[in-house]
């Protein structure tokens, strides 16, 4: 079986698959059109986010047996067309769930305890104690929206902080020792902290908008390590200015390019986020640790070997 790998990943992918008889071609520079011209030479393709695999691409990939995405989200793949073409879809959310959970918690702790702000002040010779008084997680209700791999790992971390963890998910009967499943209405009524763990779909696009925020019973913190377009930035900014949202920890933004490699179309709302002391921003790195790079790759290899070896 011949496999085309379109992004740089941990070398164990190529090493282990080659040891098991697969032929691996590395191509980290070809454009969409260039890849499309040669895709029929391959049985499988391994990607991250650099090149979208849309319907046109998949309809011309007559020999493709599988697509493996090193990561969780599959929005850069036309999954419906892949199913029509009997192309197996593989991803690896198990590989970076721990990294995402730790990042979410770390961002919130930094935000609620003003760690970054006070550190920068001290480095400038500014010593302000009362102004940097923190806010504790203990005793608060954390509401997770989405309870897959990332949500469960995040709930496990929060459960050790003496808070109550609840979650909403479209699938039933997911409660476990770390969190209780509730309705979205109950979550809105009780949560002090919201953390998003969702794919981007028509239903989850701008799930956090003016209406959602207005329906929250309490002023709250929000964490997003999922997809930037889950939050309507304009609504977020208005809520930060009014105090309805007490702080935002954002690893993703509405203005990321589809490849997640940079920003585009920055507007006045995003510029507000850049200057607000109520906001922490990181460049879509919640799932990027030394350990997760290897784990993501190993999950992909194991799933490919399980399906085709």
Positions annotated as catalytic residues are 227, 256, 284
Alpha helices, H only, the chain: 12-19, 32-38, 55-60, 79-84, 97-112, 115-123, 149-158, 184-190, 210-215, 233-242, 268-275, 290-308
C-alpha distances in Å from residue 269, one per residue of 94, 211, 275: 34, 18, 10
Are 183 and 189 spatial neighbours (Cβ–Cβ below 8 Å)?
A: no
Token couple for 264: 């585009």
Neighbours of 142 (CB within 10 A): 28
Neighbours of 211 (CB within 10 A): 11
What DSSP assignment string belongs to 55-84? HHHHHH-TT--EEEESSS--TTB-HHHHHH
Q: How far is the first Cα of the chain from the last one, in angstroms, to the nearest whole number?
A: 10
Which among 259, 260, 206 is positioned nearest to 233, based on CA atoms?
206
Using CA atoms, how far apart are residues 178 and 154, in angstroms rounded to an integer?
9
Using CA atoms, how far apart are residues 259 and 255, in angstroms rounded to an integer?
11
Rounded to 5 degrees, φ, ψ at 180 are -110, 135
Question: How far out from the chain centre does Cα 154 lie?
Answer: 12
């Amino acid at each position: 079986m011949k496999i085309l790998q379109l992004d740089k990943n941990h070398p164990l992918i190529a090493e282990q698959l080659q040891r098991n008889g697969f032929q691996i071609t590395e191509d980290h520079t070809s454009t969409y059109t260039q890849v499309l011209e040669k895709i029929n030479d391959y049985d499988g393709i391994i990607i991250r986010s650099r090149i979208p695999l849309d319907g046109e691409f998949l309809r011309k990939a007559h020999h493709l047996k599988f697509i493996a995405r090193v990561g969780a989200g599959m929005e850069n793949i036309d999954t419906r067309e892949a199913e029509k073409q009997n192309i197996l879809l593989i991803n690896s959310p198990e590989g970076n769930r721990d990294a995402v959970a730790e990042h979410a918690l770390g961002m919130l702790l930094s935000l609620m305890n003003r760690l970054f702000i006070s550190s920068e002040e001290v480095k400038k010779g500014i010593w302000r104690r009362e102004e940097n008084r923190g806010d504790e997680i203990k005793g608060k209700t954390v509401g997770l929206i989405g309870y897959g791999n990332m949500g469960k790992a995040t709930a496990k971390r929060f459960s050790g902080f003496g808070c109550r963890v609840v979650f909403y998910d479209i699938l039933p009967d997911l409660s476990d020792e770390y969190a209780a499943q509730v309705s979205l209405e109950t979550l809105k009524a009780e949560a002090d902290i919201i953390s998003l763990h969702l794919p981007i779909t028509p239903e989850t696009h701008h799930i956090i908008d003016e209406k959602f925020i207005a329906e929250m019973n309490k002023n709250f913190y929000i964490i997003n390590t999922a997809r930037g377009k889950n939050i309507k930035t304009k609504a977020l900014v208005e809520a930060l200015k009014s105090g309805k949202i007490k702080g935002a920890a954002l690893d993703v933004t509405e203005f990321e390019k589809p490849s997640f490699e940079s920003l585009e179309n920055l507007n006045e709302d995003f510029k507000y986020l850049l200057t607000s002391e109520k906001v922490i921003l990181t460049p879509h790195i919640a799932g990027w640790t030394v350990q997760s790079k290897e784990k993501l790759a190993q999950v992909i290899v194991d799933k490919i070997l399980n399906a085709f070896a």
